[in-house]
Amino acid sequence: MGDLVSLSSTFLYVAFFIYLIATVLFAATIRDKKSKKNNDFASKLAVGTTIVGFVSQLLYFITRWIAAGHAPVSNLFEFVTFFGMMLVFAFLLLYFIYRVNLLGLFTLPIALLLIAYASVFPREVTPLVPSLKSHWLYIHVTTVSLGEAILAISFIAGLIYLIRQVDQTTSSKSTKWLEIVIYTLFATIGFVLVSSVYAGMGYSSTFEFPFKGDTRSVEYEIPPLIGPNEGVMLDQERMSPLVEAPSFLQGVDAAKKLNTLIWSMLLGFVLYLIVRLILRKRIAASIQPFLKRANPELIDEICYRAVAIGFPVFTLGGLIFAAIWAQEAWDRYWGWDPKEVWALITFFFYAVFLHLRLSRGWHGEKSAWLAVIGFAIIMFNLIVVNLVIAGLHSYA
Amino acid sequence: MFMKTITCNACGHINKEGTMICGSCGKPLDSISGEDKNTLLNMRYDGTAVRSKTRNRSIIDKIWNFFSSIKIGVTLIVLALISSAVGTILPQEMYIPQNVDAFTHYRDEYGLFGQIYYQLGFHNLYSSWWYMILIALIGISIFIVSIDRGVPLYKALTNQNPKRHTGFLKRQKLYSESETYDEDEKEQLLFNLKKHRYNIFEKDGHLLAEKGRFARWGPYVNHLGLIIFLLGTLFRFVPFMYVDDFVWVREGETVVIPSTSQEYYVENKKFIIENYGEDEAEVFAEAIQNQEGPIAKHFETQAVIYKDQSTNIVGEEPDLNQIKEGSIIVNKPLKFDGFSLYQSSYQTNEFKSMSFKLHETSDENEDAIAEFKIDLDNPENNFTFDNGYRIELDQFYPDYYLDEGQPKSQSNYPRNPGFVFFVYPPNEEEPEVSFAAIGKNIDPTNDNDYKIGLTDFEVRNASGLSLKKDYTLPILGLGAFIFMIGVIQGMYWQHRRIWFHPTSKGIIVAGHTNKNWFGFKNEVDKIFTGTSLQAIKDLEEDSKEDRSQS
Ligand code: HEM
């Protein structure tokens, strides 16, 4: 069985590298100004490679399922990896409707980033607690992430639209926000880097600190810029924290999470600055020339179409299947748990998106921004609610 | 009632006030409303008169118009969205510990912010009157808007005239004008159209090719589903429709199930709890090691359900008849007569009985003078022994804790029993007071001659079952189902129409779809293959190019 798990990880690594190659191939289709026939071949090669990568990731998924005896969507590593896979699937879906290579060039790096992000979390196969032992778990989780992945394509199309269309000759609110969106991608890279580098070095330092009348200990896997409130470090040779977390932060791991966040943001900022200094331009402004040949109206339609396709899938998985499962497991189909509420918020948000699209004034740039906000809400639910809000009370 | 009308100057058809496009021939009537002749037509509801856009006289009109405005609808949804988010900043009241005062909890845990949050009622946001009103307003808005737009849309789509005025065609987004057109080409077109599954309507040689009309009803179907769903949630307030209760049953016990008018009883034959252990499949080994506490694997109550067949005379003993026997497992409730019992909570090692012995304080061997056993379900008060000793149980705290030095009980469940005993040695009138609990033996005066010690105990598990009856579920399920049908219908299909208008010089073709123009344009290109028709053009893009060139 252990062999199957390692075989499964191999498939995931292979998928990762194939996606990397596919990204390069998609880049080639954009730069390629040669004959149409040539470009057709390049596109086919790029999308074919993507499919091979997807199949490899699918094999990862299946072998891990066999090894664990349950669908591998039950911890953060598995879920985010699966989300990355669904993102590639959603891309293929829209690619075969619109055949826009640019979409691949932007989607695959984000899928890569997601898989890298996932791999930072504990990767072992976990057994299921009783409330998770239900077929509805798989049905619910897989449809939600498929829905969210299709909605994420609308974010990617929106991003392409904005980079293509926002006037970069002067600095404006739009250019600033666009840079902020790009910066968050750098911050994610920062997170992956800092976590994996220190994990590779085997870094660890332990703190003891008072918590609700008890003494708790917490282990940092990256150096503490921020230590727990009134914390005492147990390992002398390690760097001591620069500041202590404020006392209002709740939760045993709050200071640790804040520390990781600050590290990621700082590192992301440094990376961003380096790239920006090399380019000597806003990053969006440097990408813009490569997108000149893209048809903005087509991109806008993809942005809308992804919502049109993703919204029903998300509703089915995130609200309806979720409710059926909650009814079976906790005898209430709806409990106003933060995770549920944020799924409802996502639903409301995309309903607003669809209604605004009914009037002409909301096409183009405005709806591209909405798609960006929608993705921010999804990511908030996926990451922040899991790590921060839901940690305040126990589930099940 | 007097209704203003507009007579079409091309075909003479009499249209209702507010109509933008003649209902019969399609000639734009905006020479009256003064719209620019060259802009594309607004094809929403095919230019029929929408009540909320036409009438604004009485107060009813004003309310109607308020609720059928998309702006208002969107604003309401945004408000619901923001308030929902506010409710997740701090945990809702139902998620804070049950045994503390809510106000104190929010103040102590979250400081001033928590205090304000509590005082604004955000700790119970989702059941607050204003949140419910917000959702109700959305429901009303959906209802009114569906009638406002649905009726005219229905009229427009069921009475389509294939023969359209050129003024209508020239202002469609997709447009093509060709010099040549003959029977052969018509044959080819009809063939291509049928291949793409278009329905064809013909009048005087004019063609209307249409597909996916049913997609236009998608929004109305999904809105209907939402309304049914919202109504379903209201039924929860009807007592017969909804029951929600909870009962603890200890192993071996049979208790009445609350909220069933004393009709049903449940017996807990055995409660089983399993954790993931060492002998688990190898793949999990790492995860189990990394976890600090045990990871739960399985909870199960082996239960029997009884129905009371007695005639309900006061004082009569219940006459229990077994109606169901089975396991209640998480994710697998036990169902009977419309009710479901869910495995919801448990308490392991609850005390069933405790045995004590009395000995002299000074006796190092602690030889028993007297021994007795207390059944915690039904504690006896007096124990008299042959050797003249007597022990009286003065106080029993099932779940004892010290509140500022005073013993108190947290619950009625024997989880941490504490006892106050009066010990009467032979021929004594004045008792010695002794306090006993697990691991504790307190002598309040510190000069007791006798001591009471715990010698043995029996434990058992208790299972917490929650009882549900929810007849609103089928209504909610129906609403959700209709909603899904509606969104899929509206989102995965499009309503596409192509008009073919022969003229003296050749033919005009115009096309309209309610969404996804790129796919539509590609399809029209395919439909034109094998004919000499001019490729279809996107007038919107052309006009943009004109602008950018000038
Ligand atoms: C959360 C609640 C709501 C949901 C989930 C919802 C869902 C939808 C969906 C999916 C569509 C189709 C959009 C498209 O085809 O692009 C639609 C259309 C529409 N909705 Fe809603 N809606 C909601 C509330 C409302 C409200 C409050 C109004 C009130 C103004 C409204 C008015 C409309 C209108 C006018 C249409 C267009 C109908 C047509 O195309 O003929 N909706 N709705």
Q: What pLDDT is recorded for position A55?
A: 96
Q: What pLDDT is recorded for position A212?
A: 67
Q: Which two tokens stand for residue B48?
A: 């029929």
Q: How far apart are CA B497 and CA A287, in angstroms?
A: 39
**B224 within some domain:** no
* A312 contacts B488? CB cut-off 8 A: yes
pLDDT in tens, chain B (550 residues): 456 788 887 788 888 887 888 888 888 876 544 455 567 787 877 777 777 777 777 888 888 888 888 899 999 999 999 999 998 888 888 777 767 788 888 888 778 888 898 889 888 888 888 999 999 999 999 999 999 999 889 988 888 888 888 888 888 889 988 888 788 888 888 999 999 999 999 888 888 999 999 999 999 999 999 999 999 988 888 777 788 888 888 888 888 888 887 888 888 888 888 877 666 666 676 676 666 667 777 888 888 888 888 776 666 677 888 888 888 887 788 888 888 888 878 887 778 888 888 888 888 888 888 888 888 878 888 888 888 889 998 888 888 887 777 788 877 778 888 888 888 988 888 888 888 887 777 777 777 888 888 888 888 888 888 888 888 889 999 999 999 999 999 999 999 999 998 888 888 899 999 988 888 999 999 998 888 888 888 887 766 655 444 3
Q: A34 pLDDT exceeds 60?
A: no
Residues B339/B469, Cβ–Cβ less than 8 Å = yes
Same domain, B54 and B151: yes
**B489 within some domain:** no
Same domain, B270 and B322: yes
**Mutation choice for ligand 1 from A355, A358, A363, A367, CB with most ligand atoms inside 8 A:** A355
Q: What pLDDT is recorded for position A390?
A: 45
Q: What pLDDT is recorded for position A311?
A: 97
Q: What pLDDT is recorded for position A273?
A: 94
Same domain, B367 and B435: yes
**B367 within some domain:** yes
**B277 within some domain:** yes
Higher model confidence: residue A84 or residue B409? A84
Range of the domain at B189: 166-212+494-549
Same domain, B26 and B55: no
Same domain, B277 and B179: no
Give the residue on A whose Cα is nearest the Cα of B242: A332
SS (H, E, C) chain A: CHHHHHHHHHHHHHHHHHHHHHHHHHHHHHHCCCCHHHHHHHHHHHHHHHHHHHHHHHHHHHHHHHHHCCCCCCCHHHHHHHHHHHHHHHHHHHHHHHCCHHHHHHHHHHHHHHHHHHCCCCCCCCCCCHHHCCHHHHHHHHHHHHHHHHHHHHHHHHHHHHHHHCCCCCCCHHHHHHHHHHHHHHHHHHHHHHHHHHHHHCCCEEEEEEECCEEEEEEECCCCCEECCCCEECCCCCCCCCEECCCCCCCCCHHHHHHHHHHHHHHHHHHHHHHHHHHCCCHHHHHHHHHCCCCHHHHHHHHHHHHHHHHHHHHHHHHHHHHHHHHHHHCCCCCCCHHHHHHHHHHHHHHHHHHHHCCHHHCCHHHHHHHHHHHHHHHHHHHHHHHHHHHHCCCC
Q: What pLDDT is recorded for position A394?
A: 32
Task: Write the residue in A336, A342, A352 that is nearest to B78 by C-beta.
Answer: A352
Same domain, B60 and B151: yes
- CA atoms within 13 A of residue B126's CA, in its CB half-sphere: 18
Q: Which two tokens stand for residue A191?
A: 């997170």
* B74 contacts A359? CB cut-off 8 A: no
Same domain, B79 and B146: yes
The string of pLDDT tens digits covering residues A354-368 is: 999 988 788 888 999
How far apart, in Å, are the Cα atoms of A9 and each of A59, A65, A95, A115, B301? 10, 12, 28, 12, 39
**Mean pLDDT within A312-328:** 92
* B95 contacts A393? CB cut-off 8 A: yes
**Mean pLDDT within A259-286:** 91
Give the residue on A whose Cα is nearest the Cα of B97: A393
**B98 within some domain:** yes
Q: Is the pTM of this model over 0.90?
A: no
Same domain, B170 and B147: no
* Distance from Cα B487 to the centre of ligand 1, integer Å: 10
Q: What pLDDT is recorded for position B220?
A: 95
Q: What pLDDT is recorded for position B548?
A: 46
**B272 within some domain:** yes
CB contact set of B140 (below 8 Å; sequence gap of 6+)? B67
Q: What pLDDT is recorded for position B1?
A: 46
Give the residue on A whose Cα is nearest the Cα of B277: A127
* Distance from Cα A355 to the centre of ligand 1, integer Å: 6
Which A residues in the span 238-297 are in contact with B, Cβ-Cβ below 8 Å? 248, 250, 297
* % of chain A residues with pLDDT over 70: 91
Amino acid letter, A103? L
**Considering only CB atoms, which chain A residues are within 8 Å of B297?**
127, 129-130
- Please check whether residue A99 touches B, CB under 8 A: no
**B68 within some domain:** yes
The domain tally of chain B equals 5
